[in-house]
Amino acid sequence: MDINVENMLKFHYEKNALMTIGLLKVDDVSQYGRCRIK
């Protein structure tokens, strides 16, 4: 049971980390786009 919980938390942590990195990249792209438009 403990191992399952740890694996679940690890999976969610990795998934959230990937989503956060993806959002940061999207932010960078949108800011870069705004700079070019100006």
In angstroms, the CA 33 to CA 36 distance is: 5
Query: What is the CB-side half-sphere exposure of residue 21 using CA atoms within 13 A?
Result: 6
Residue tagged 């956060």 (tokens) = 20
Q: What is the pLDDT of residue 37?
A: 59
Q: What is the pLDDT of residue 1?
A: 56
Q: Tell me: the pLDDT tens digits for 1-38? A: 577 888 888 998 899 988 888 888 888 877 766 666 55
Q: What is the pLDDT of residue 23?
A: 83
Give the predicted TM-score (pTM) of the model: 0.48
Q: What is the pLDDT of residue 38?
A: 57
In the chain, count H helices and then E strands: 1, 0
Q: What is the pLDDT of residue 3?
A: 73
Q: What is the pLDDT of residue 35?
A: 67
In angstroms, the CA 13 to CA 7 distance is: 10
DSSP summary character for residue 38: -
